[in-house]
Amino acid sequence: MFLLLGFFQVFGYLNGTALLRLHLASQSLIALACLLISIVLLRIVRSRRGFRFNGVLFCLAASIMACGLTYGLEAIAQWRPLLWVSIVIEAAAAVALIAVLVLLLRITPDILAVPHKLADSRFRELIEEAPDAILQVDERGTIVIANRTAERMFGYNREELLGSNVDQLVPQANRAAHAGQRAGFQRSGVAIPMEKRVGNLHALRKDGTEFPAEIGLSPVKTDAGLYVTAVVRDVTDRKRLERELEHERELRVQRIQVLARLAADLAHEIKNPLAIIHARASDLTEMASQGMAMPAGVVQKTCDSIVKTTERAIRVIRGVQALAHEGPHDPMQKTDVRGLIDQAVELSKTRFATHGIALDAVVPDGLPLVECRETQIEQVLVNLLNNSFDAIDGDERSQPWVQVRVSTQPVSELPGGVEAVHIDVLDGGPGVSPESRARLMETFFSTKPKGAGIGIGLSVSRTIAEDHGGRLELLDSESPTCFRLTLPVLARRTEGAST
Amino acid sequence: MRMDEACILVVDDELELLEIFSAWLGRSGCRVYTAPNGAEAMKVLRARKVDVLLSDIRMPIMDGVALVRNLNLMEIPPPRTLFVTGYGNFSRREIFGLGVEALLEKPVSRPALIEALNLCLLDSEEKWLTPSTEPRLQSATLTMESLEKATDEHSFALGRGGCSVACKLPLKEGMSIDLSIRFDREGLSLEAQGTVVWIDAEQGKAGVVFDYLQPKCRQWVLARIKTKNPRSFVPHG
């Protein structure tokens, strides 16, 4: 201070009174400012309890206050010097400043760890461009934060999202329940991780479309109240994959069941011819061992029977081999239904014509392509036509006509609303008796005389249909007899999907 | 009844097997009728007295099981029934419960068929006279509080040719066993040699056909069969 006065005196620009006034005013202002600064600092310390820089802030406040007081006392000293008080306060200021220095050195690493502006913007980008939509809502459900992914996922822009209620992102049907769930979550205040979601959640886009979603929730407690951060993931693709895998698995299980049934049936169908061969051969052995004279005619008849029966067993085995061989190896191809039917009709028409049986096909235009193994489906169609032929031919009650009729139908129970193509084979035959109806699809069951058909036609056809994700059934109508082959339209199922 | 006095109906949709079985049985002196399915067999059974029915199981129009079910509903006493089959998908428990006495598997030899028929033609008391000298694979010794209670609780049931019994032992189909059951209240005991014809591991039950009964229990068992007159050969249990 005296140094300062000396400075002014040396230059001698100002006279003593004016200089003193300026000096007093400055000292008073410094004292006041210091006091106010320390009050502000102390308020920060008080309101942010637990803040890691509170110690240094408190010491800083104390030292600034002490410095302010020394200035204030010096100003007062113009009229009434309080030398010892000044010295004590100066000492206090010195101690406080040293404390600030020590604390400052200790927390320097902490201060450096606070993100500076560039890191802060990176952090913001991290949230903005997160692969999941991130929303924060307040206690009333009003959206207060929404990232860019949320804008894209829900189709709203940020202005529309902020301030609106989060319930509008929930499908109408679940909206009432959602408000209740939200309240329940706020009461419990326990975070719900994404994988712990219950049931199938759906979210609603601005355009009214829904998508399957996984949602994780975490509570954020602040002085202004409870906020909830919601992370929303669009799982459309994953759900589709899951559905496809499930479909594949079902097909495989179905195929195994069919093969298991086939194995049991095969055993039965082979054991009958074996029983005949065994009996015939043991008869011969018995007669020979008893030294009986065997007429050539008996021997020939017995051996003929053995040969014929062996051939029958081989036919059965070949049929099963064909079934086991075909199928999973050939790739499925998108195929025109009309072409398939034309080929099957072409293959059969001469035979039908020579027996005076009318054969025609009614195929509407604009049929979707079906994904199938062409030769297999053709085999099924030819099989069905043959069955109709056999039913009509030689039965006097029959009317001599067979028709192939195609229709399309949405199948709502299959995921994705798959549309299916029905290929109906109708005939004017005598119909199928109720007893046979129940067993018709069993392997080796045949209503034809033994030897005329080996009975694997329909069950093989059914296996092929099931292998294609479709089915083969005998419709309930008594007359005309109608076998329906249903094939799913896989091509339409993937329409609109990214693959 | 002797073979050459018996009248046998053979049912099979395999016409050549019908022919073979007829020839075999004819050689043993039986009178033989044939039918290609259950429905045709019913016609024969309504028209004639048949001692033994020898039937396939799996046939079109009416299969063997349906045929026996229908027979059980008829007024006439049903013939003794044997199944000869190549089919494996049926319940042995159900078949013996319906009253079928034996199951033969195709292919079957003539001696095996004739032996089974001969056994079938014997009356129960004749069947159970001779013990087997072959070692038994398992021995089951059980004690039950009373015969009536065990019957009510389905832990024991007596059929025309065997019994079903609740038993925790690891039995197998086709296993020959020594069976010994004591019924405390009545002071009765059943001492038998038998063959396990079905098992239900889940319910812990088994069906056993008697091959031999000890003389001391033969009387009460036969008397009980006579009074209860069960249709089943081995009860369903």
**The residue count for chain B:** 237
Which residue in the block uniquely carries the two structure tokens 């890691």? A52
CB B33 within 8 A of CB B9: yes
Distance CA B212, CA B178 (A): 10
Predicted confidence (pLDDT) at residue A439 exceeds the cutoff of 80: no
- 3 state DSSP class of B1: coil
**Residues 284 to 343 of A: which have CB under 8 A from any B CB?**
286, 305, 309
The pLDDT score that the predictor gives to residue B89 is: 72
Rounded to whole angstroms, the Cα distance separating B135 from B177 reads: 9
Amino acid identity, position A139: E
pLDDT given for residue A276 in this prediction: 94
The full 3-state SS of chain A, as one line of letters, equals: CHHHHHHHHHHCCCCHHHHHHHHHHHHHHHHHHHHHHHHHHHHHHHHCCCCCCHHHHHHHHHHHHHHHHHHHHHHHCCCCCCHHHHHHHHHHHHHHHHHHHHHHHHHHHHHHHCCCHHHHHHHHHHHHCCCCEEEEECCCCEEEEECHHHHHHHCCCHHHHCCCEHHHHCCHHHHHHHHHHHHHHHHHCCCECHHHCCCCEEEECCCCCEEEEEEEEEEEEECCEEEEEEEEEECHHHHHHHHHHHHHHHHHHHHHHHHHHHHHHHHHHHHHHHHHHHHHHHHHHHHHHCCCCCCHHHHHHHHHHHHHHHHHHHHHHHHHHHHHHCCCCCCCEEECHHHHHHHHHHHHHHHHHHCCCEEEEECCCCCCCEEECHHHHHHHHHHHHHHHHHHHCCCCCCCCEEEEEEEEEECCCCCCCCEEEEEEEEECCCCCCHHHHHHCCCCCCCCCCECCECCCHHHHHHHHHHHCCCEEEECCCCCCEEEEEEEECHHHHCCCCCC
Of all residues in chain A, the one with the smallest CA distance to B23 is: A283
The answer, for A270 touching chain B at a CB cutoff of 8 Å, is yes
Q: B204 with B163: CB under 8 angstroms?
A: no
CA-nearest of A316, A331, A235 to A272 is: A316
Task: Choose the weakest-confidence range: A210-214, A344-348, B66-70, B96-100.
Answer: A344-348
- Does A319 score more than 80 pLDDT? no
Please give the pLDDT value at position A195: 63
Q: How do residues B99-152 score in pLDDT, each as one tens digit? A: 999 999 999 999 999 999 999 999 877 889 888 888 888 888 999 999 999 999
Interface check A196 vs B, CB under 8 A: no
A249-271 burial, b for 16+ CB within 10 Å, e for fewer? eeeeeeeeebeebbeebbebbbb
Q: Are strands A481-488 and A419-427 parallel, antiparallel or unpaired?
A: antiparallel
Contacts of B58 in chain A (CB under 8 A): 268
Q: Token pair 């086991």 is at which residue?
A: A324
H-assigned helices in chain B:
15-27, 38-47, 64-73, 92-97, 110-121, 124-127, 147-152, 215-228
Cβ contacts of B16 on chain A, cutoff 8 Å: 276, 305, 309
Q: Burial of A20 by CB count in 10 Å (0-12 exposed, 13-18 middle, 19+ buried)?
A: middle
Lowest average pLDDT, out of A193-197, A374-378, A451-455, B32-36, goes to A451-455
From the list A282, A305, A445, the residue facing B16 with the nearest CB is A305
Q: Which tokens belong to B110?
A: 């003539």
**Max CA pair span of chain A:** 165
Q: Assess whether pLDDT exceeds 80 at residue B231.
A: yes
pLDDT grade for A326, boundaries at 50, 70 and 90: low
Angstrom distance (rounded) from CA A396 to CA A191? 77
User: Are the beta carbons of A271 and B106 separated by less than 8 Å?
Assistant: yes
Query: What pLDDT sits at residue A86?
Result: 85
Per the listing, tokens 């803040």 go with A51
- pLDDT of res. A424: 93
Cα–Cα dist A460/A466, whole Å: 10
Beta bridge mates, B209: B162, B195
Asked if the model's pLDDT at residue A15 lies above 50, the reply is: yes
For the ranges A75-79, A422-426, A472-476, the one whose mean pLDDT is highest: A422-426
Q: How confident is the model at residue A24 (pLDDT cuts 50, 70, 90)?
A: confident
Distance separating alpha carbons of residues B147 and B163, to the nearest angstrom: 13
Which residues of chain B lie closer than 8 angstroms to A267, CB-CB?
86-88
Residue A232: is its pLDDT beyond 90?
yes
> Higher pLDDT residue, B53 or A380?
B53
CB B16 within 8 Å of CB A309? yes
Mutation site for A-interface testing, chosen from B58, B62, B110 by largest number of A Cβ within 10 Å: B58
Query: What's the pLDDT band for A495 if we cut at 50, 70, 90?
Result: very low
Tokens 């084979």, residue located: A425
| Residue pairs between chains A and B whose CB atoms are closer than 8 Å | 65
Which pLDDT score, from 0 to 100, does residue A166 have? 92
Q: Is the pLDDT reported for residue B35 higher than 90?
A: yes
B105 in the Ramachandran plot: left (φ > 0), alpha (ψ -120 to 50) or beta? beta
Average pLDDT of chain A to the nearest whole number: 81
Element holding B171 (H helix, E strand): none
Residue among A275, A282, A445 whose CB faces B86 most closely: A275
DSSP structure class, residue B202 = T
Q: Tell me what pLDDT residue A496 has.
A: 38
> Residue A436: which of A380, A391, A484, A485 has the closest Cα?
A391
Percent of the residues in chain A that have a pLDDT greater than 90, as a whole number = 23
pLDDT value for A324: 60
- Which pLDDT band holds residue A492 (cuts at 50, 70, 90)? very low
The residue of chain A nearest to residue B18, with distances taken between CA atoms, is: A276
Q: What is the pLDDT of residue A494?
A: 40
The helix (H) or strand (E) run that includes residue B199 is: strand B188-200
User: Scanning the structure block, which residue is given the tokens 């009460």?
Assistant: B220
pLDDT at A440: 72
Q: What is the pLDDT of residue B182?
A: 94
Does B111 touch chain A if contact means CB atoms closer than 8 Å? no
pLDDT of res. B47: 92
- Of B177 and A114, the structure prediction assigns the larger pLDDT to B177
pLDDT digits (tens, 9 = 90+) for A175-221: 888 888 888 887 887 777 766 655 678 899 999 999 999 998 898 88
Q: Three-state DSSP class for B104? A: strand
Check if the beta carbon of residue A161 is closer than 8 Å to that of residue A146.
Answer: yes
For the ranges A304-318, A453-467, B13-27, the lowest mean pLDDT is seen at A453-467
Taking residue A360's Cβ as centre, other Cβ atoms within 10 Å add up to: 12
| Cβ neighbourhood burial of A147 (10 Å; 0-12, 13-18, 19+) | buried
Phi, psi (degrees; rounded to nearest 5) at A424? -100, 135
Q: DSSP for B10-62, please give it.
A: EE-S-HHHHHHHHHHHHHTT-EEEEESSHHHHHHHHHHS--SEEEE-S--SSS
pTM: 0.57
pLDDT in tens, A262-274: 677 678 778 889 9
Determine the residue among B106, B109, B114 to mutate to test chain A binding: the one whose Cβ has the most chain A Cβ atoms within 10 Å: B106
Residue showing tokens 């004016």:
A18
pLDDT of res. B2: 83
| Structure tokens, A19 | 């200089």
- Summarised one tens digit per residue, pLDDT across range B159-207 is 999 999 998 888 888 899 999 999 999 999 999 999 999 999 889 999 9
pLDDT on residue A279: 94
Whole-angstrom distance, CA of residue B64 vs CA of residue B82: 10
The answer to whether A275 touches B108, Cβ cutoff 8 Å, is yes
Cα separation, A460 vs A259, whole angstroms: 10
Average of per-residue pLDDT across A88-98: 89
pLDDT score recorded for residue A340 = 87
For residue B164, give the 3-state DSSP assignment. Answer: strand
Nearest Cα to Cα of residue A204 among A240, A150, A243: A150
Mean pLDDT for the stretch of residues A320-324: 63
Q: How far apart are the first and last CA of chain B?
A: 30
Q: Are A344 and A377 in contact (CB under 8 A)?
A: no
**Highest-scoring range by mean pLDDT, A136-150, A349-363, A379-393:** A136-150
Task: Give the C-alpha separation, A386 to A351, whole Å.
Answer: 10
Residue A165 · residue A143 · CB < 8 Å: yes
Inter-residue contact B30 to B6 (CB < 8 Å): yes
Residues of B whose CB is below 8 A from A439: 60
User: Scanning every residue of chain A, which has its alpha carbon at the shortest distance from the alpha carbon of B113?
Assistant: A279
Q: Determine the Cα–Cα distance for residues B208 and B195; give it in Å rounded to an integer.
A: 5
Q: Is the pLDDT reported for residue A420 higher than 90?
A: no
Please give the average per-residue pLDDT across A143-165, as a whole number.
92
Q: What is the pLDDT of residue A413?
A: 55
Rounded average pLDDT over A292-318: 87
Binned at pLDDT 50, 70 and 90, residue A139 comes out as: confident
